[in-house]
Chains A and B, each alone.
Chain A
């Protein structure tokens, strides 16, 4: 399906990503384990690095990698974190 743009077409046709932060200073970083094998090993290592830089880290776990995260977990991460890192593959 094609839709016709109702705007003044000053933004790219491709939907833009959310702007990336310039720096992680002062931000809360969520580490999401999607329950895939050895994802925790990867995220533990990331957490160690972030902790060395004195950054605030929250850990989360999805019940299963086969389905999207439950709405409650999505909302919790969205309200508690500024950026999220997740391990996608094993």
Chain B
């Protein structure tokens, strides 16, 4: 018996496969070890003794076929050669038969294998591959609606979630090079272990695409740093929840919104990345409202709060560059965010006046008589930024000037002053900064038109952290 065998994988829908059908018959007559696996029509090609129906694509999956036709040579059961498409010389070498297809052109490219069509590859991986997913399987009754099952199990933030099937999770995991069982961190409040796989499952629930997964993973890792203090942020009676600002090339690659309605609805990446982080806290950490989440009111950003900085046409360095990252790096920055307060100034024409105006609005953050408040995010609009760019102001100059106007007279803030008990006690200084350590996070975002910016209040127990996004 021969120690070698030949396998060809074809589909009738491929013009190159139909072109080389006579070649397969030619090989079959000379070498009876030839088996032809056909992906679509089980009767194609005719005249082959050993024609095998692979419409279920199992063999194509196991042979890792990407292109049809593919010709493979096995010696003693091991693959020793393969060629894809039609190249006469290669086919002659792999088959050991020549001349082949004398009346055919020298070469023709092949077509995509049916086993790697979108959505098919994940199905085949689940059907035929060794399962790598460790999560517990939950059976959905035949009369149950799977979206209702997700609600009933408490996996939802109140909006419908995408049911996390094995296929969808495998597809989601294709978005990262990290192993499914890699530990991402320990999630409060219940301090449960969180693997890449569990993050991927929650990213499926949230509606993410696989290419968003690296952003979600970076956001989860950042949220789990001690300095960010996710446990406290969850447990506080205050309004805040985690907000993600994304910088760098990935924002363009995955189509994030940094422009019109950047803080609002309508962009899938913005919406689902922020939501995935919240679902990780809910489902893996066990952080649910009324449980450890004690927010007195909360804020709508606790469904999702994620946007990109508008950096491509910015006159200033981005938040991430200010924090020491290269403009070519993609990063997430997390903030404890308590909702959006409008800042409206349509009259200031010179940069100094606009700083005074901003400061007047920022002074009211939390309470006008509060000082040393946790640093908020100032989302500055393109039109407001232009006031500074036109005058040649750097971001540092803007920040320094703004801080100068954010030094508050202690006498006006003391407890009881103005008939208001709320206030500060310090008496040993004349002025005090509105924000702790004179820190203010500045991010540029928004549409072209609108002389508005936004104050996003913070929460005192959390420190803003930036991390680079890795594949």
**Inter-chain contacts of B164 with A (CB < 8 A):** 3-4, 6
How long is the Cα–Cα vector from A48 to B161 in the complex, in angstroms?
47
| B278 in contact (CB, < 8 A) | no
Q: Which single member of A3, A8, A10 contacts B149 (CB below 8 Å)?
A: A3
B155→A1 contact, CB < 8 A? no
DSSP class of B's interface residues: helix, strand, loop or mixed? mixed
Counting residue pairs across A and B whose Cβ atoms lie within 8 Å, the total is: 68
Given contacts A8-B192, A9-B135, A13-B138, A3 and B198 within 8 Å (CB-CB):
no
B152→A15 contact, CB < 8 A? yes
| B163 in contact (CB, < 8 A) | yes
Contact residues of B between 156 and 201, Cβ < 8 Å to A: 163-166, 169, 187, 190, 192-193, 198, 201
| A20 in contact (CB, < 8 A) | no
A9→B140 contact, CB < 8 A? no
Interface centre among B139, B205, B285 (most CB of A within 10 A): B139
A3→B192 contact, CB < 8 A? no
Type the 1/0 row for B123-151, where 1 means its CB is closer than 8 Å to any CB of A. Answer: 00000000001011111100000100110
A3→B279 contact, CB < 8 A? no
Given contacts A8-B190, A9-B136, A13-B138, A3 and B283 within 8 Å (CB-CB):
no
Total number of A residues with any Cβ neighbor in B under 8 Å: 12
A69 shortest CB reach to chain B, Å: 18
How long is the Cα–Cα vector from A6 to B161 in the complex, in angstroms?
11
| A72 in contact (CB, < 8 A) | no
| A2 in contact (CB, < 8 A) | yes
How long is the Cα–Cα vector from A15 to B138 in the complex, in angstroms?
10
Q: A4-B136, A4-B138, A10-B286 are in contact. List 5 more A-B contacts (CB 8 A).
A: A2-B137, A3-B146, A3-B164, A4-B201, A10-B192
Q: Which residues of B contact A (CB under 8 A)?
A: 133, 135-140, 146, 149-150, 152-153, 155, 163-166, 169, 187, 190, 192-193, 198, 201-202, 205, 279, 283-286
15 contacts between A and B (CB under 8 A): A1-B146, A1-B165, A2-B139, A3-B146, A4-B133, A6-B155, A6-B202, A6-B283, A7-B155, A7-B286, A8-B193, A8-B198, A9-B135, A10-B192, A15-B152
